[in-house]
Amino acid sequence: MNPTPTIHPLWLRTTHWLNVIAVFVMVTSGWRVYNASPLFNFRFPDGITLGGWLGGALLWHFAAMWLLVANGVIYLLFNVGTRRLFTKFFPLSPRTVLADTLAALKGRLSHDDPRHYNSVQRAAYLFVMLDIVVLVLSGLAIWKSVQFPLLREMMGGYELARHVHFVAMALLVAFVAVHLLMVTLVPRTLLAMLRGR
């Protein structure tokens, strides 16, 4: 048996970091696009946006979307093909998520075995997969509202699709914030995602 077993296989680490790049570009350029016609009574500070102006932000957004989608599809294919999706993220129940959340808040959640995801992690990672799918579909409904009528109607029309896209972005950013906080609390998870063990 391997004395230092791999926690994260190479394909997972590769798609994870490519996704980091894609999400970073999509979110920061998306904020600039949002600023051109804000849905709500606020704007993102230009200094934390990408693209310099609306046209530049759109160039980034519609370039990085290919990376986000292609990388996401490859990730999901590997995840299903290796059965990692089923073995790492399930079983999962609201009761165990609640129990693990309470344990985490009390500082009593164990991280002894980094190969094992606790229920909060399982729920969070499944959520972010789903959230990115919603982001892509709502984005497609905004970009191609005529070519994808079913998608457009699923989103409740063009204007609502913009809101869905925004909310999904906000939830993704919230996930990233919690994710980064947890990494600073348990730094060896960062090492595992870099070198695999």
Which of 7, 12, 23, 60 lies at the binding interface for another protein (CB under 8 A)?
A: 60
When the beta carbons of 25 and 123 are compared against another protein, the nearer one is 25
Looking only at residues 76 through 115 of this chain, which bind another protein when binding is defined by CB under 8 A? Answer: none
Nearest to 169 by CA among 127, 132, 126: 132
Q: Judging by beta carbons within 10 Å of its beta carbon (0-12, 13-18, 19+), is residue 113 exposed, middle or buried?
A: exposed
- The H or E element that residue 63 is part of is helix 54-81
**Would you say 196 and 8 are in contact if contact means Cβ atoms under 8 Å apart?**
yes
Sign of CA dihedral 36, 38, 39, 45: positive
Q: Does 50 bind another protein (CB under 8 A)?
A: yes
Site for another protein contains 9 (CB under 8 A): no
Q: Which stretch binds another protein (CB under 8 A): 3-11, 124-132, 155-163, 168-176?
A: 155-163
Residues 6+ apart with CB under 8 A from 68: 19, 22, 23, 26, 132, 136
Residues 161-180, mask of contacts with another protein (x by CB under 8 A): -x------------------
Please pick, from the candidates 2, 3, 4, 37, the single residue that binds another protein as defined by CB under 8 A.
37
Q: Which is nearer to another protein, 22 or 33 (CB)?
A: 33
Distance CA 60, CA 51 (A): 7
Stretch near another protein under the rule CB under 8 A, chosen from 2-10, 75-83, 151-159, 172-180 = 151-159
10 sits in which H/E element:
helix 10-36
| CB of 171 vs another protein, minimal distance in Å | 19
Q: Which residue's CB is nearer to another protein, number 34 or number 75?
A: 34
CB of 38 to another protein, least distance (A): 9
Interacting residues of 183 by C-beta distance below 8 A, sequence separation 6+: 189, 190
Binding site for another protein (CB under 8 A): 28, 33-34, 36-37, 39, 47-60, 62-63, 66, 143-147, 149, 152, 157-159, 162
